[in-house]
Amino acid sequence: MAVGIFDSGLGGLTVLKAAQSRLPDVDFLYYADSARAPYGVRDAEDIYQLTKSAVQDMWSKGCDLVILACNTASAAALRRMQEEGLPAGKRVLGVFVPLIEAMTERQWGDNSPPREVAVKHVALFATPATVSSRAFQRELAFRAIGVDVEAQACGGIVDAIEDGDMILAEALVRSHVEALKRKMPEPQAAILGCTHYPLLESCFQDALGADVKVFSQGKLVADSLADYLQRHPHMQGAGAGGYYTTGNPDRVSDRATQFLRRQISFQAA
- Read off the pLDDT of residues 28-84 as tens digits, 9 standing for 90 and up: 999 999 999 999 989 999 999 999 999 999 999 999 999 999 999 999 999 999 999
Q: Which is catalytic among the residues 63, 154, 194, 203?
A: 194
Q: Is 203 a catalytic residue?
A: no
CA nearest to 16, candidates 1, 34, 4, 25: 4
pTM: 0.89
CA–CA gap between residue 173 and residue 231 (Å, rounded): 38
Whether residue 105 contacts residue 80, with contact meaning beta carbons closer than 8 Å, is answered with no
Q: Which is catalytic among the residues 63, 70, 154, 203?
A: 70
**pLDDT above 70: residue 22:** yes
**pLDDT above 80: residue 1:** no
Q: Any alpha helices (H) in 42-104, and if so which ranges? A: 44-60, 71-73, 79-84, 96-103
The string of pLDDT tens digits covering residues 203-243 is 999 999 999 999 988 999 999 999 999 999 989 866 679 99
In the DSSP assignment, the letter for residue 127 is -
Judge residue 94's burial from the number of C-beta atoms within 10 Å of its C-beta, 0-12 exposed, 13-18 middle, 19 or more buried.
Answer: buried
The string of pLDDT tens digits covering residues 165-217 is 999 999 999 999 999 999 999 999 999 999 899 989 999 999 999 999 999 88
Q: Is 70 a catalytic residue?
A: yes
Contacts of residue 144, defined as CB under 8 A and 6 or more positions apart, other chains included, come to: 100, 104, 114, 115, 116, 117
